[in-house]
Amino acid sequence: MKLAFTIATPDTHDASMAAFRGGGLDQAFCTLSQLGYDGAELMVRNPAELDSAEIERLAAKYRLAIPAVSTGQLRKEDGLALNARDAALRGETVRRTREVVDFAARFGAQVNIGSLRGQMPAGAERTAAMAAVRISLTELLEYADGRGVTLAIEPQSRYISNWLNTVSETMQFARSFPGTQPYIVFDVYHAMLEESSVAAAMIAGRERISWVQLSDSHRGAPGDGQVNFGEHIRVLHALCYDGYLSVECNPLPDAETAARRAAAHLKPLLASISYA
């Protein structure tokens, strides 16, 4: 397993993001590289506003992979939603998400979908919204497959989303599409809020988990709260998960300090695992 940290790209403007922001991408990449991180999960809003070549140059300069790109800010800042019943809004959501897929393909990254799926209405409107999200995802899965990009859906707690809260619910939804996609983003923080057992949820989702996000019990840096990350890492190792552990935590007291504390706590735990 390798270690990543979330970085907010310059096209985003949300100061509340659980990501490294401020000081520019050069500083963020440099800091993560010096702290021993292997990669960066980029949290984007509109890749058309980004200099992809410059990001590629910085990644090479600091020897950081970009294995994942997240889409939450398309929802939070621009109000897009894959389940929008308005055809124009849904079409714009798909178009912008396709641009994220193109951006991710340049780096060999997967695309993570959380709140972008939209909130699910109740009653008769739910059927229409569910049909809308299936249309959107079917188109995006086909588009991503053609570019060698993995799409992964994140189960999120009831405080963020009113559907796809648990791994079992998300697995059922994912399996309703043909093929092996979409995959699943496993966020330990959300799992702690929704699952009766985090370990059991990891086991239930093992066939589709392609990305793991970490933060501590108070959404702070791993090691600052009460989560037993050693146990979670051992379970993932036993399940033969060999992907990234991406720290998505509140950047407190500042992003650099949070990244340093997370690395200091997690790297010894990863080093203690035997891969023999």
Domains of the chain by start residue, with CATH: 2-271 (3.20.20.150)
The Cα 174–Cα 150 span in angstroms is: 13
Q: pLDDT tens, position by position, for the chain (276 residues)?
A: 999 999 999 999 999 999 999 889 999 999 999 999 999 999 999 999 999 999 999 999 999 999 999 999 999 999 999 999 999 999 999 999 999 999 999 999 999 999 999 999 998 899 999 999 999 999 999 999 999 999 999 999 999 999 999 999 999 999 999 989 999 999 999 999 999 999 999 999 999 999 999 999 999 999 999 999 999 999 999 999 999 999 999 999 999 999 999 999 999 999 998 654
Q: Number of helices (H) and strands (E) in the chain: give both, helices first.
A: 10, 8
Whose CA is closest to 97, among 68, 139, 130, 131?
A: 139
Mapped onto helix, strand or coil, the DSSP state of residue 276 is coil
Q: What predicted TM-score, i.e. pTM, was given to this entire model?
A: 0.96
